Amino acid sequence: MPTRSASRQVNREPELVIITGLSGSGKVTVLKCMEDLGYYSVDNLPVDLIQKFGELVKDSPHIRRAALLVDIREGEALKRFPDLYARIRQERPCTLVFLEADEATLLRRYSETRRPHPLGTEESVVRSLRRERRQLAPIRALAEHIINTSRFNVHELREFIAEKFGGNRDQSRIMVNVTSFGYRYGVPPDSDLVFDVRFLPNPNYIPQFKKLSGRHPRVARYIRSFPQTTEFVQRITDLLVYLLPHYTREGKSYLTIAFGCTGGRHRSVMMADEIRRRLSRVGFRVKSTHRDIEKSGT
């Protein structure tokens, strides 16, 4: 999900940033990043103390801004958070950041860390995650910023938060991920824009290209040699250069643009890399990924 722009969001820089979200979504990483940015940071503050904490921040001559983390560890007390947050927002500049990630990403992170889910070990991690998602849904609905961290590694997440909340950040920039995929393996679920390039000539039927990918110069040159490729690239570039500033104004901080061919190895790969280069040249912050490039077939 994108970062959200809302009419209730205040224009002043927030004195208090409240971080919450799903377990395994990167909340502690974000809190540490906020601390590095100069925010007085507190982990796992009891819900009933949040309002008092906000008053202390407002009255303290030594604390200009603060960040705190509240999550499912609060148990039943978390049900009181929505009403409490509404009162806090009436008193001072404040923003709520909700972190989440796709279920597959969260399960992978749990398998790598081998940490138990905060809801306990009496049920599987996947059931705990789904129960947690349901319980946090009312809080998620209040968030000014909803950040899906599935596409971020730790360093990218820290960079994103630093640009969002750092004092010298450029809020007009949007992070763009241009990815390639194969339709035979399914459309990436986190795609914001999807373009089908299966109408382009298929290098898979050229014996010397079959085992190469769209990143190989010869394969890329072959795909570009057709007039429909040239026209498509230019039209898509023009469309994206027009769209991206509008997405930014609507509050999107990152966008995934997906190009798909049959197997995700040749045409979509070449197209994703080409669009990444073109958007970078006109000043957008772009990276490219290739989900299915190592899989067999095209």
The CATH number of the domain holding residue 78 is: 3.40.50.300
Q: Are residues 41 and 140 in the same domain?
A: yes
Is 265 domain-assigned? Answer: yes
Asked if residues 63 and 21 have their Cβ atoms less than 8 Å apart, the reply is no
Q: Are residues 150 and 20 in the same domain?
A: yes
- DSSP for residue 4: P
Look up the pTM and report it.
Answer: 0.58
Is 25 domain-assigned? Answer: yes
Helix (H) / strand (E) element for 30: namely helix 27-36
Q: What is the pLDDT along the chain (298 residues), one digit of tens a residue?
A: 444 433 333 334 557 899 999 988 999 999 998 888 888 899 888 888 888 887 777 777 777 788 999 888 888 888 888 988 888 888 778 899 999 999 888 888 888 777 778 877 677 888 888 988 999 999 999 998 999 998 888 888 888 888 788 754 444 467 899 999 999 999 998 899 999 999 999 999 999 999 999 999 999 999 999 999 999 999 999 999 999 988 877 767 789 999 999 999 999 999 999 999 999 998 888 999 999 998 865 4
Q: Give me the domain span that covers residue 55.
A: 16-165
Q: Are residues 21 and 158 in the same domain?
A: yes
**CA-wise closest residue to 277 among 205, 176, 192:** 176
Q: Are residues 158 and 184 in the same domain?
A: no
Is 232 domain-assigned? Answer: yes
Q: Residue 72 has what pLDDT?
A: 84
Domain count, the chain: 2
Is 9 domain-assigned? Answer: no
Q: What's the length of the chain?
A: 298
Tell me the C-alpha distance between 82 and 91, whole Å: 15
Is 224 domain-assigned? Answer: yes
Residue 79 has phi, psi (to 5 degrees) of -65, -20
Tell me the C-alpha distance between 256 and 271, whole Å: 14
Q: Residue 222 has what pLDDT?
A: 95
Is 6 domain-assigned? Answer: no
Give the angle subtended at the CA of 10 by the CAs of 7 and 12, to the nearest 5°: 150
Q: At which residue do the structure tokens 């000014």 appear?
A: 144
Boundary of a domain, candidates 135, 165, 195:
165
Is 99 domain-assigned? Answer: yes
Give the angle subtended at the CA of 195 by the CAs of 289 and 201, to the nearest 5°: 90
Asked if residues 261 and 298 have their Cβ atoms less than 8 Å apart, the reply is yes
Q: Residue 169 has what pLDDT?
A: 47
CB hemisphere CA count around 289 (13 angstroms): 13
Q: Are residues 159 and 54 in the same domain?
A: yes
